Structures are given as structure tokens and as C-alpha cells.
A and B are shown apart, each in its own frame.
Chain A
Amino acid sequence: MTGARLHLVYDVSHNLATIETHAGRQLCVHRKGATRALPPGHPDLPADLRGSGQPVLIPGSMGTSSYVMAGVPGGGAFASACHRAGRMLSRRQAARSITGAELRRQLEGRGIAVRGASERGLAEETPQAYKDVTQVVEAAEGAGLCRKVARLVPLGVVKG
């Protein structure tokens, strides 16, 4: 891996309130658990994203896929999409369902490198704690909020 170069492709902040214009009205749109998904051609998009629509990253969990989606016209939700697969277990419940060491063994057994995590912190993020990201993505696309662009699989996970 040495000598590899790393380019920033896309960076976005979630859970923000912004003042926007929708249907001719100025509104304060607060996306909680959601992210902006502007459709192709939207004037707020930078030139290199204008053709594709705004990227929407939907990470799954440490052990499952993540998806790159893009905004579509007429989403019907103030140009918003979910920004992750929601939790099914609270952090505490998740930490009780599996030990960090066991989870580390499982992930490494599947070729996923694990770095920088306390045992407890790792267990809180166990894949079983999250909804099935593929179902979430299907639902988001089916609801017309965004479209699928790419599926990513984890090579390594870093938990701060």
C-alpha cells in the first residue's frame, strides 16, 4: 500500500439545518438523520456534480456493504435522503449482545482489518445493531428519494 495517493472524492456534513427555497418559499430545512440529495441540474451543485445529482453516502455497518447514491428529481422530501441504516439496538444493548473480542475475530475472519477500537466501542457498532442496509437502500430508491450508484464492501474499519 505504500506510495498510494489518496484523493478526497466527496465530503458532506449531516444533520444540518439550512435556509432553502422550496416551491417558491424560503424555508428552514433541518435534515435530522437525513442528508441533502439535490437532483441533477440543481444550481447549488458544483459543476462536476451537476450532471449526476448530489452524492448520498449510505454507510451500512462495519461488516456490511455501504452504498453511494445520488439525488433524483421530484423526491418529494425537500431534496433529502437518509444518510445511514438506522440502529435497531441502542449502543448499550449492542454492547451487551456481543463482546468486542468476538466481533473482532468475526470481522478479521472475513478479511476486514480492525483498527483503533476499544472492545466496548467495537461492540457498540456490531452489524447486528443496524438495519439491513440493502433493504434501507431499496426503500430509499423505491420511495423515489435517490438512486443507486455503487455498492462498497469494507476492507478495513477504524473506530475512533
Chain B
Amino acid sequence: MTRNAADAEDLVQETFAKAFAAPGRFQPGTNLGGWLYRIMFNTFVDGYRKRRQEPLLAADPVDRQTDPRWSPGSADGASAEEHALGNLLQAEIVAAIRALPARHRLMIYPADLKGLGYRQIGDLTGIPVGTVKSSLHRGRGQLRATLTAHYPVQTDDVGGRADSCTARRSALPTAGRCPIGDTGRVLVAACPKRSPIPGQRGLTRHRSAGGLSTGGCTRSAASARESLPGGPGGGAGVRPGRGAGVRAGRRAGLRDDPLRLPRAWALGLQRSRADHGPGDGSLRIIVPDRQLACAPADSAEGRRYLGAMAAAANYGQANRQLLSEAARGVLSA
């Protein structure tokens, strides 16, 4: 609400102060959270109307650099670069996932790298939950076979199925560190009976964490199409049902392998019915904000975007040359 930590704290304090000052106004049996929220909302609106008259400091101008809430994970002293590289998948794992048939890969990513539940994946892709489960089972089996070949585990040492994740983790060359960070999610992927991320399966949790909902996705995907250089192309005006994208993607064989840019998939990726090949503007990438666009860097859209950016840089440089020349003219006149 406040876009500013200090104001947020003040708002919460004022809300509770008002609530304690007038406990009689709360009707027992009704929703306490809702009542408090209503007080908070009214307090905020009142304050907003008052503050509109005064110039304001921007939201937390310096805090983002020093406030630990804005730099998660830096406590271990690792640099931003180390964090970013640590979050990339190891080449063998990328290759193993990439080798999976598209229908299995499509399930592995949201389930085992993003921690979505069966139902969420079903909602996102329009694929029936039973099919999600069976595709995941086969995909994980195949992935386990490939990864076990890369990182052989002595079955004698494993001591039961539940420990196989740990055993496999210690067999990795990075000495106990999971190749995609410390979560071990890819390794868990090799153990089909274990939930990838406990506690992250409910749809509610998913929504609050990522702000994703199917309604929002459609809008975001549409705006992503529009924002890409080259325009909406064949995708203009086409809003396929939620299932159509993936089915069309399967038919098309997912030519732009999304795993080359895991981040693009981090927000979910489908192809629309209008998929006639790379570069037709029909990537459907779900982003949490309408102002964002997203495409794999080496897709036709991504390449066009980078090309346009390079052209803009050249234009800027030429423009500055002209300005410099004009300045030269003034100084030498």
C-alpha cells in the first residue's frame, strides 16, 4: 500500500491503535482480519488524502542497498555474480532435461524447478491432472536414469529409497552444493515419490507468491506479445483456451528450446495456437506485470529484441556525434 517500509510500519501501528480504541465496534462472529483490514484501508486512504498536498520523499531512497530485506542471500558474503551463476543449472542437468521429450520436459520444469503442484500445472497448461502425473512420472524416470549415469551412486551406500536424494547430492562434483542453488530441487526430481518443495503446492500459496492467476496470465501474455519488436504478428487477436497453447506447442515440437533461458520459463511458457514457427510473435510467456515482456534470448523474438536494442544504441551514438560536432562548431567559431 504505502510503497515505503516506514510508512507501512506507521500504518500498521495506527490500525491497531484504532482497533484497540474501539473494540466495541467489532461484531463477534465476523471476520476479525477483514475488520482490521478495513480499518487499515480507511486509515491509509485518509492519510493519502492528507499527504497528497505535501511533497514526499521517494520510497525508501537509500534503504534498498542497505536493508537486508532487499538483498536476500547476501549474508554468506557471495557476490551478485556468484549468486547468479549459482542459480544457473549445471550443463549436464540442462542437457539431460533438454533430451526429454517435449511433453515430459513441459511438466518437469514447473513441477521440479518451480515447485508447482499437479493441479497448478494442470490449471496453467490445460492438461488433465492425470496426464500431468503420468508425464511427470515418465519424465522423472528418464531424468533419473540420465543423471545417475552422470553421477553414479553405489546402491549399497544408499540405504533405502528415502536417502537416495542425499546420496545423489553428495555424489555431485560440487561437493554437496546443489547445482541449482541449495534447494536440491533437480535432485529431488530424480526421486519421483518426494514432493519437490513441501508447502508450496496449494493454489493460494502460488497466487500470493507469484501473483499469478489465469486471468492475469492471459492479459500479461497479450501485453508481452505487443511489447516485443516485430509486433503481435500471427498472434494478434488470438487468445486460445488454456489448453490449446501446450497442445499446439507439442505439435510444433517446441522449436525454441526454453531451457536455454531458464528465467523465461521461471514464469511459465506456453505456445499459442497461432504457432507457425519461430519468430511469428506467438510466444506466450506469463509475466507477473503487464509492463514486462519476456522471450528466450536466443529465440527469434529475443534476437530481434537484442537487434533493436543494438540499433537504438547506434542511433544514440550517432546522435551524440552530431551533438559533439555542434558543440565543436560553437567552441571553434
List residues of chain A with CB under 8 Å of any chain B CB. 1-6, 8, 11, 13, 16-17, 19, 22-23, 25, 28, 75-78, 86-90, 93, 96-97, 131, 139
Q: Decide if B331 touches A90 in the complex (CB within 8 Å).
A: no
Q: Decide if A6 touches B65 in the complex (CB within 8 Å).
A: no
- The A contact surface, by secondary structure, is loop
Q: Can you name 4 extra interface pairs (CB under 8 A) apart from A16-B309, A28-B306, A87-B58?
A: A5-B332, A6-B327, A78-B80, A89-B58
Chain B residues near A8: list those with CB within 8 A: 321, 324
26 sampled A-B residue pairs with Cβ under 8 A: A2-B332, A2-B333, A3-B331, A5-B331, A5-B332, A8-B324, A11-B320, A13-B313, A13-B317, A16-B309, A16-B310, A25-B85, A25-B88, A28-B261, A28-B302, A75-B79, A75-B81, A76-B79, A76-B80, A77-B80, A78-B80, A78-B81, A78-B84, A86-B61, A88-B62, A97-B55
A77 CB → nearest B CB, Å: 5
Bound-state CA distance A9–B81 (Å) is: 30
Chain B residues near A28: list those with CB within 8 A: 261, 297, 302, 306
Chain B residues near A4: list those with CB within 8 A: 331-332
Bound-state CA distance A3–B333 (Å) is: 6
B127 CB → nearest A CB, Å: 30
Bound-state CA distance A93–B309 (Å) is: 30
Nearest 6 interchain pairs by C-beta: A76-B79, A88-B61, A28-B297, A13-B313, A4-B331, A6-B328
Is B57 part of the contact surface with A, judged by Cβ < 8 Å? yes
Q: Decide if A13 touches B316 in the complex (CB within 8 Å).
A: yes
- Partner of A1 from B65, B85, B320, B331 at Cβ < 8 Å: B331
Count of chain B residues near A, Cβ 8 A: 31
Bound-state CA distance A111–B292 (Å) is: 44
Q: Decide if B58 touches A88 in the complex (CB within 8 Å).
A: yes
B332 CB → nearest A CB, Å: 6
Chain A residues near B316: list those with CB within 8 A: 13
Chain A residues near B56: list those with CB within 8 A: 93
Chain A residues near B306: list those with CB within 8 A: 17, 19, 28
- The B contact surface, by secondary structure, is helix
List residues of chain B with CB under 8 Å of any chain A CB. 55-58, 61-62, 65, 79-82, 84-85, 88, 261, 297, 302, 306, 309-310, 313, 316-317, 320-321, 324, 327-328, 331-333
Bound-state CA distance A89–B55 (Å) is: 10
A26 CB → nearest B CB, Å: 9
Q: Decide if B317 touches A11 in the complex (CB within 8 Å).
A: yes
Chain B residues near A88: list those with CB within 8 A: 57-58, 61-62
- Partner of A6 from B61, B62, B309, B324 at Cβ < 8 Å: B324
Q: Decide if A22 touches B81 in the complex (CB within 8 Å).
A: yes
Which residue of chain B has the shortest Cβ distance to A129 in the bound complex?
Answer: B58
Bound-state CA distance A76–B316 (Å) is: 29
A16 CB → nearest B CB, Å: 6
Chain A residues near B88: list those with CB within 8 A: 25
- Partner of A76 from B55, B81, B302, B324 at Cβ < 8 Å: B81
Bound-state CA distance A22–B86 (Å) is: 12
Bound-state CA distance A129–B210 (Å) is: 33
Chain B residues near A87: list those with CB within 8 A: 58, 61
Bound-state CA distance A28–B309 (Å) is: 13
Chain A residues near B333: list those with CB within 8 A: 2
